[in-house]
Chain A
Amino acid sequence: MDDRIRELVEQVPAWLRTTGEYPEIVLSSRARLARNLRPFRFALKATDQDREEIRTFVLDRLRLHPRLAALHQLELEGLGEAERRVLVERHLVTRDLLKHPDYALVLYEPDESVALLVNEEDHLRVQVLANGLALSTVARRILDLGEILGLLLPLAYREEFGYLTSCPTNTGLGLRFSVLMHLPGLVLAKRLPELVKLLARARLSIRGLYGEGSDIVGNIFQISTTRNLGITEEELLAHFQDTVRQIIQMEQEARQHLEQETPDLVEDRIHRARALLENARLISFEETARLVSALRLGVGLGRIFDVKLQTLNELLFFAQPGHLQVLFGHDMDPQERDRRRAAYIRTKLQSGEA
């Protein structure tokens, strides 16, 4: 077991805390930069030798900046499958990076608020994560990091198109803001089509947290910006903030409406979810996410007082397959996973931590 991975699974990442703005609706805010080095071919055409040189070159240059030099460092090649999965589940690494782990590297702040991926789809991906609604904060931090990288490294850039990236969707600013939102109100009120239309007009993208099939689990959605040309950094941020606030308001209205129109139904759903989580002996991740969503709604509506939002965030997080396997120290078949997961949830909800 890699020590760094063990360290990770034993801590709660800073962005999962519930001390931010609108924690009952916005789980986290994220900003991401895509950058490439002028002299090297992109991932599609890069050879192993290119990838090795990129890694050496980047590490060599980052050492000049004390804060970047102090980042924790993990190489993907030596890790087992469950360990790699942990990194994906913690949003430190993208699934993409797992497909080509050769010479891939993740550098991160110990509290996981900043991560730098080397040799992903782009030579460099930088992300800043914060809990709750904190888009201005993540924007400021990512732009600072962008300036530092621009000083340390020769970046691929053209005046007319901006930063040159592997995928044309990122060309230009190479910048993406996103939020992870819990939207059970809009889902229950069947207002999702309305949301999808609103987002399409604002050129934002939405994706669900997918389980094994195509169903969205836990009513958790990632909403992101997509434009990188024809817009300034400030405009992109301001538009996104406006739309996210609008969605928060829609969700709040939907929750209020549900409570007024179908109070018994809502109450029943919340308490059934709690009973199942507290008593199940076998539980899949999909079911966990669905039930945690209902309980989260209960906490948000003030119907549940003795369970903390933070506990629910942690449940959702540590009940993921990779985390469970690393926490319990071995690979498991699905049934053992479901049993361990159920036991973990029961303990967590019964202990004082709840």
Chain B
Amino acid sequence: MLCERCKVRPATQKVVEVTAGGRREWHLCDECALEVAYGLVPPEPEEPEKPETPEAPPPGAELRCPTCGLTYAEFLKVLRFGCSDCYQAFRENLKVVFQELHGSAQYLGQPYKPDPQKARLVHELEHLQARLETAVLNEDFERAAALRDEIQKILENLGWTIASGN
């Protein structure tokens, strides 16, 4: 759920306010909770809440992810995706969401492109590991020892031996 005070960041803290009028719980984000805890601001929302007139549904509310069934309206309510295909289903609307949360909707990090040569080595490793298990099951220890040597070589090529610090 969204922070009840700023209505921008996700709520992560429960703050209990005790007044003459009784007890009230607020679900706030980290920032708002901190400011409230230090008495810098009251827990009430920054803007007075709009009267509960039937609110117009947000644009795209009816969009539905074909894979997991999550609707865009549900997504906005819980601020969680249901699967990776939700990103495609809600794509057009997400740009605004990301702009708000991150100040940008553009990924600038390292691209996810596993080095094809390393990927091949991992594939080979998997294969050898399976053969090693069979050899051990069959008590073919000579074969197992040879396979272990091969595995060790691949691990060295990947830089994955324990000594190499990865």
Q: Give A contacts to B, CB under 8 Å.
A: 36, 38, 40-45, 63-67, 70, 121, 144, 148, 150-152, 155-169, 171-173, 175, 192-193, 196, 200, 203, 205-208, 210, 213-216, 226-233
Q: Are A45 and B82 also in contact (CB < 8 A) when A151-B119, A206-B31 are?
A: yes
Does B35 have its Cβ within 8 Å of any Cβ on chain A? yes
- Chain B residues with Cβ below 8 Å from A156 are 84
In the complex, which residues of chain A have a beta carbon less than 8 angstroms from the beta carbon of B34? 196, 206-208, 216
Residues of B within 8 A of A193 (CB): 38, 40
B102 within 8 A of A: yes
Find out whether the CB atom of A200 lies under 8 angstroms from the CB atom of B108: no
Nearest-neighbour CB distance to chain B for A176, whole angstroms, equals 12
With both beta carbons as reference points, the residue of chain B lying nearest to A40 in the complex is identified as B83
Q: Contacts of B16 on A, CB cut-off 8 Å?
A: 213-214
On chain B, the residues within 8 Å of A206 by CB distance are: 30-31, 34
Provide 7 A-B residue pairs closer than 8 Å at the C-beta atoms, listed in order of the A residue. A64-B129, A66-B155, A155-B112, A166-B80, A169-B9, A229-B104, A231-B102
List of A residues within 8 angstroms of B107 by Cβ: 158-162, 172-173, 229
Verify B103–A203 contact, CB threshold 8 A.
yes
A173 vs B97: C-alpha distance in the bound complex, in angstroms?
Answer: 16
Closest B residue to A63 by beta carbon equals: B129
User: Does B101 contact A208, Cβ atoms closer than 8 Å?
Assistant: no
Residues B31 and A200 in contact, CB atoms below 8 Å apart: yes
Q: Which of B98, B155, B162 contacts A168 (CB 8 A)?
A: B98
Q: Chain A residues with Cβ under 8 A from B30's Cβ? A: 205-207
Contact call A45/B70, Cβ cutoff below 8 A: yes
* B interface residues (Cβ-Cβ under 8 A, vs A): 9-10, 12-13, 15-16, 29-31, 33-38, 40, 67-70, 78-84, 87-88, 94, 97-98, 101-112, 114-115, 118-119, 122, 125-126, 129, 155, 160-162, 166
CA A64 – CA B94 in complex, angstroms?
A: 37
Given A157-B112, A160-B106, A162-B109, decide whether A67 and B160 contact each other with a Cβ distance below 8 A.
yes
Point out the residues of chain B lying under 8 angstroms from A64, CB to CB: 122, 125-126, 129
| Minimum distance in angstroms from A44 CB to a CB of chain B | 5
Q: Are A45 and B31 in contact (CB under 8 A)?
A: no
Q: Are B111 and A159 interface neighbours, CB within 8 A?
A: yes
CA of A243 to CA of B9, assembled, Å: 21
Bound Cα distance A315, B118 (Å): 46
5 closest A-B pairs by beta carbon, nearest first, are A230-B104, A162-B107, A45-B82, A207-B30, A229-B102
* Residue in B12, B70, B102, B103 with the greatest tally of chain A CB atoms within 10 Å: B102
Residue of A nearest to B161 (CB): A66
Chain B residues in 8 Å Cβ range of A172: 98, 102, 107, 109
Smallest CB–CB gap between A206 and chain B, Å? 6
A109 CB, nearest partner CB in chain B, Å? 12
Which residue of the partner chain, among A36, A40, A158, A214, contacts B33 with CB atoms under 8 Å? A214
**Residue in A66, A210, A213, A214 whose beta carbon sits within 8 Å of that of B160 in the complex:** A66
Q: Is the CB of A229 within 8 A of B166?
A: no
For residue B118, give the distance in angstroms from its CB to the closest CB of chain A.
6
Smallest Cβ-Cβ distance to B68: which chain A residue:
A45
> In the complex, A63 Cα to B122 Cα: how many Å?
12
Least Cβ–Cβ distance between B40 and chain A, in angstroms? 6
On whether A232 and B33 interact (CB within 8 A), knowing A44-B82, A151-B122, the answer reads no
Closest to A192 in B: B38
Nearest residue in A to B40 (C-beta to C-beta)? A193
B79, B106, B115: which contacts A229 (Cβ < 8 A)? Answer: B106
By a CB distance below 8 angstroms, the chain A residues around B80 are 42-44, 121, 166-167
Complex partner residue of A38 from B68, B84, B106, B119, CB under 8 angstroms: B84
Measured in the bound complex, the distance between the Cα atoms of B94 and A40 in whole Å is 21
Asked if A196 contacts B31 (CB within 8 A), the reply is yes
- Given known pairs A163-B112, A229-B102, the reply for A66 and B37 (CB within 8 Å) is no
Provide the bound-state CA to CA distance between A151 and B67, in Å: 26
With beta carbons under 8 angstroms apart, the residue of A158, A214, A232 that contacts B37 is: A214
With A150-B114, A163-B112, A214-B36 as contacts: A41 and B83 at CB distance below 8 Å: yes
Residues of A within 8 A of B15 (CB): 214
Alpha-carbon separation in the docked complex, A158 to B84 (Å): 9
B122 to A152, Cβ gap below 8 A? Answer: yes
Q: A45-B70, A229-B108, A230-B108 are in contact. Are A161 and B94 (CB under 8 A)?
A: yes
Nearest-Cβ distance from residue B158 to partner chain A, whole angstroms? 8
- By a CB distance below 8 angstroms, the chain A residues around B111 are 159
B108 to A: closest C-beta gap in Å:
5
Give the most central of B9, B107, B161: most A CB within 10 Å: B107
